[in-house]
Each structure stands twice: as C-alpha cells, then as structure tokens.
Amino acid sequence: MKFFVDTADVKEIRELNELGLLDGVTTNPSLILKSGGNIAEVTKEICNIVKGPVSAEVVATEYAEMMREAEVLSKIADNICIKVPLTLDGLRACKAITSDGRQVNVTLCFSANQALLAAKAGATFISPFIGRIDDIGIDGMELIAEIRQIYNNYHFQTEILAASIRTVNHVKQAALIGADVATIPPATLKALVKHPLTDKGLESFLADWAKTGQKIG
C-alpha cells in the first residue's frame, strides 16, 4: 500500500518525507487555505520535497476552464497529478488529461458507480472519501470494498486512493480490503507507529541495558 500525506503543510511533509514514509501528497483548496500560502508556491515547494505524485486540484467547474487550470498546474512540476471533481465536466477533463499522458486524481467520490465512471475516463487515482461517508452514518469502508471488487472484475488499472481518512483503523481496514493508496493526515500517519506494548517493552529493555553498564561500540 502506498502512503500519501493529506496536507499542504510543507514542514509536516518535509518531516514525514525524511522518515522515508511518503509515496505522494494530496492537497485540496481547503488544505491550501489552511497552509496560508499561494497555491503555485506551496505546490512547487511540495513537489521539490516529494518525488511521487502531488495532487493539485482545479477549482473550475466547466471543462474548458478546468483544462486551462490543469495546464497551469501541470507546469509547476513533472510530478503534479491533476485533481478534478467527480462531475461530467471533471470526467471529460480526466479523459483529455490522461490521454495526454498526465496523471489525474478524480476526487469527491461517494459511490461505486462514480468510481466506475472515473475508471472508464482513465483516471490514475479514484478518491473515495471514507470519513465523510461515515459522518452521515454510512460505513465508508463498504464503498472501498465495492470499488475494489468492480475494478478487479474488469481489470481497471485506476488505483483506489482511500481519502478522508480520520483514524488509524481506517488505514488498517483500507489495507485489508486492498486499497492501493491511503492519503492520511500527518497526525494519523504518525499515530500508526503507536502501541503501548512497544513503549513498555522499550522502557524495560533500556532499564536492563543500563544495569549492564555496557556500551555498544
């Protein structure tokens, strides 16, 4: 499973990248707002840090303007992945951009049929929003399972990018179902390492080691 980080916070991205944990980054207009920076500058900085795909989202809702924005965003760096919304215009733009050999992440997916359309439009990634589905009282993970089955049935190459992840359990469940990628907020990504028995075990090993009075090397 690939790990993307879901943020436009350059400091967090740099830290996680140094740990060797990042395969890519996803941003969206709300995350750009939160970063407080200019979209072109922030995105360029992120692309210089992480080698994998960096999703940058168009904000136009009509095809022609989406294509113009995609052109501008593509020029930021070679590893830009254009993010388009799951609308008819977004799907049309997805087809055109991927036919040009560029990567597209189709975002705001809330149903299996939407994911089927994105795959038919040649999407590189489909982003089902697990947490936002959970928020309305429906199990978001069921959508990941449905998309996995549909994509397997027809051998679609579109990668399932589990998005709107809120908990470490979301990551585990998405991995068990076979999502190709999880885009994870920085705090949740770091929380994956935590286990009380790891902390307790390390503490007792270190205490015993101190009693030996030895040094390594």
Give the C-alpha separation, 51 to 78, whole Å: 9
Q: Which 23-42 residues touch ligand E4P, going by CB under 6 A?
A: 26, 28
Number of residues that bind ligand E4P (CB under 6 A): 11
Give the C-alpha separation, 56 to 61, whole Å: 15
State which residue, 29 or 201, has the beta carbon closest to ligand E4P.
Answer: 29
DSSP 163: B
CA nearest neighbour of 158 among 183, 186, 122, 194: 122
Q: Lay out the site mask for ligand E4P across 163-192 (x = CB under 6 A, - = otherwise).
A: xx------------------x---------
Give the C-alpha separation, 198 to 171, whole Å: 20
Q: Is 129 in the site for ligand E4P (CB under 6 A)?
A: yes
Q: Is 125 in the site for ligand E4P (CB under 6 A)?
A: no
Give the C-alpha separation, 50 to 52, whole Å: 6
Q: Is 89 in the site for ligand E4P (CB under 6 A)?
A: no
Q: Is 43 in the site for ligand E4P (CB under 6 A)?
A: no
- Check if 200 is active-site: no
DSSP 129: B
Both tokens of 39, joined, read 């979209």
State which residue, 92 or 132, has the beta carbon closest to ligand E4P.
Answer: 132
* Contacts with ligand E4P, residue ranges (CB under 6 A): 6, 26, 28, 107, 127, 129, 131-132, 163-164, 183
